[in-house]
Amino acid sequence: MKKNKSNYLNRELSWLDFNQRVLDQAFRKKNPVLERLKFLAISASNLDEFVMVRVGGLKLVQQLGSSKPDISGMTETQQLTAIAKRMREMYATQVRCLSELEPEMRDNGIIRLRPDDLSETQRAYLERQFETELSAAAAPLAVENNFGFPMLSGTRLCLCVKLKADREQIIAPRDGASVPSTQDDDESGLSSDQQTESGVRYALVPLGRSLNRIWTVPGSEAYSYMYLEEVFGMFLSEMFGGQEVLEWAPFRITRNGDVEIDEDSRADLMIDMQEMLKARETSQCVRLEISASASESLTQFLCDAVEITQDDVYAVDGPLAMKDLFAISFMKGFNHLKDVPWPPQPVAEMMRPSEIFEKIATEDRLLIHPYQSYDPVVDFVRAAAADPQVIAIKQTLYRTSEKSAIASALEEAAIDGKHVTCIVELKARFDEARNIQWAKRLELAGVDVIYGIQGLKTHAKVCIVVRKETTGIRRYVHFGTGNYNESTARIYSDISLFTCDEQLGIDAIHFFNAITGLSVPQTLGKLSAAPINLRETLLEMVSIEIENQQKVGSGLIVAKLNSLVDREIIDALYKASQAGVEIRLNIRGICCLLPGKKGLSENITVVSIVDRLLEHARVFYFRHGGDDRVFISSADWMGRNLDRRVELLVPVEQDHTKGRLIRMLNAYFDDNMNASILGDVGTYRAVEEKKKKKRQFRSQEALYKEAHQMFQAHSDPRTTVFEPIRKPEL
């Protein structure tokens, strides 16, 4: 097929479209106001990581002089220009959103105060707090002629303060240092003229990370708060010994988080990772956010100081770092302003940890989290640690929780004398520090810790328990689509499969031993692994659907993913569409495939679900001529997952587990409350706009009801299990 760049969408702009869909939830009045505030905070947090990683990476490539276009034909410079334009629009939308939310919050007893709103009592309270706590937790940093600009960590909220200074304060050197010439720049890159600016001087106040951004103000029946920077702004003159404050403005910088390590440079990956974390704190500044109220001179001062151009300055006409609004959305009380809770449903047949291996031996167990409790996963590892018949545990850890019950169970198992091997991926971005700590703890307990494979990230989710039973050695395996993280398991929608299938157990052992032994695994019977043969398996499955479509007209592919970027996979899907195969894609975030284009992809539908839970599972269904093939996977369809990560593609083979996943997949295409559909020009529209007359159907709510009724059915056999989803039909 001829490679036409207009057939593909840009990855970065597609991600920004996803973040806009997140932000759109904050405008939906059917959502409770604190849930809307949460979506606003999520969109801000998402944007921070996007700038650190994706914008930072593009800037590095741009500086290297690369002009290689991406899949859509855009160069790095073109992408950065388009990203900046789209981000400015998003900032304005976030500010507008907050301005709509604040009156509704006020009407419900959550009141934002500004300095002019304070009573004398409230002002006196804040002054005492400033004198006793706030000023002690933050230190002003003077920026003087002969001293460089301080090294600020990324995304930390700071104040830039312009002070009136007399002549002596401006020119007085420290420790006998000579005064730099006004004709030359000092070592900070700032000229004396820029710093003194006709009798003014600058100082910075980095706000202490130990201080709450949302500062509670007592004095009324309602919950009242101020932003921390506004509290500081009221008393800045006191912080500077009574000097006249001419201007102040909050700002923060974002540093490039796309800092890689040279794994060939040294054998000690732990040391390399610790040095990488330090490098991230001092990497290039790629964004300056500043209050729109800041003067041109103050803004230029900061631009010169952090060596950034106006192209990367974002003047925000509202509070910076809106991710801090999580503190309000999650605060205790005000339950009537939040979603009705969906407590994870117990899994009746796996509620007794002492029987967990017996239950898995009876039949495969498939769970859909967090509709169903994550406890069985934790209990599986805990039971293995305590069971005297267990002789070995093999586990991968990509992202863990701070107080991980699973990692603690691995410690206990090793201390108890079991052979425990754990692959801890130190290169899991932004979780490196936590993983380093756990790796050290596990090693001290006697666990054989492997730091992954050189040049690859181990992203597969698998735990293998080897048990010596009366009939011989038996392998019990947990495969997952999500991380072994009890915290995120409450808000991420993922799949767990427990099995003691003999071939899957053998495959899992071969796969695991290949990683720990730095070798190529023996032939896998059922599993497919990246970067070995996962891509080839997917392409083969697509080819079979094309053949079946051409023979009997029954080709069908249904896939649920977080991202679809890989060109070879996209081209294979285009080819299948042209052959008449029906393709339904549920893609949460990035999608570089263009659906519905005549002669190319008119048989492809792409929907995205953004709801109260983060869609994270990867599930694939191929009709396979009526012999349904269903898989779960840790891998998205991206080059990094298929070629540069260690991933797994796991077949789900028993009828009851396959049927449940097929029903789940169909639910997403019936959703007309939180689904958006991607059109043939690359833009999304809400599905509900087209299907207003259809009964309301919310996929996540349906899946929760199904989990609830499954538990009820075990408690009361007279209960009918909820099955909301039909099997796919052409």
Q: Domains for the chain: give ranges and CATH numbers.
A: 5-106 (1.20.58.310), 109-308 (3.30.1840.10), 348-526 (3.30.870.10), 529-715 (3.30.870.10)
| pLDDT score, position 259 | 53
What is the torsional sign of CA 466, 467, 471, 473?
A: positive
Rounded to 5 degrees, what angle do the CA atoms 250, 252, 257 make?
170
pLDDT, tens digit, 9 for 90 and up, residues 446-462: 999 888 777 888 899 99
Q: Fill in the DSSP letter of residue 440.
A: H
Place of tokens 């974390």: 277
Flag whether pLDDT at 510 surpasses 60: yes
Phi-psi region of 75 (alpha: psi -120 to 50; beta: other; left: phi over 0): beta
Residues 6+ positions from 316 with CB-CB distance below 8 Å: 91, 95, 289, 290, 291, 292
pLDDT, tens digit, 9 for 90 and up, residues 330-377: 999 999 999 999 999 999 999 999 999 999 999 999 999 999 999 999
| pLDDT score, position 426 | 73
**At residue 512, what is the residue type?**
F
Question: Which structure tokens are listed for 19?
Answer: 């973040």
Task: Kindly indicate the confidence band of residue 2, based on its pLDDT and cuts at 50, 70 and 90.
Answer: low
The pTM for the full model equals: 0.89
For residue 251, the SS3 value is strand
Flag whether pLDDT at 273 surpasses 90: no
Residues 6+ positions from 381 with CB-CB distance below 8 Å: 393, 395, 405, 406, 409, 410, 463
pLDDT, tens digit, 9 for 90 and up, residues 627-656: 999 999 999 999 999 999 999 999 999 999
- 3-class secondary structure per residue, 552-619: HCCCEEEEEECCECCHHHHHHHHHHHHCCCEEEEEECCCECECCCCCCCCCCEEEEEECCCCEECCEE
Task: Kindly indicate the confidence band of residue 184, based on its pLDDT and cuts at 50, 70 and 90.
Answer: very low
Name the residues annotated as catalytic. 459
Flag whether pLDDT at 693 surpasses 50: yes
- Whether the CB-CB separation of 447 and 422 falls below 8 Å is answered with yes
The torsion defined by the Cα of 211, 214, 220 and 221, in degrees rounded to 10, comes to -110
Q: How many CB atoms lie within 10 A of CB 182?
A: 11
Flag whether pLDDT at 297 surpasses 70: yes
The separation between CA 618 and the C-alpha centre of its own chain, rounded to angstroms, equals: 15
Q: Fill in the DSSP letter of residue 335.
A: G
Task: Kindly indicate the confidence band of residue 264, based on its pLDDT and cuts at 50, 70 and 90.
Answer: very low
- 3-class secondary structure per residue, 257-289: CCCCCCCCCCCCHHHHHHHHHHHHHCCCEEEEE
Indicate the average pLDDT of the chain. 87
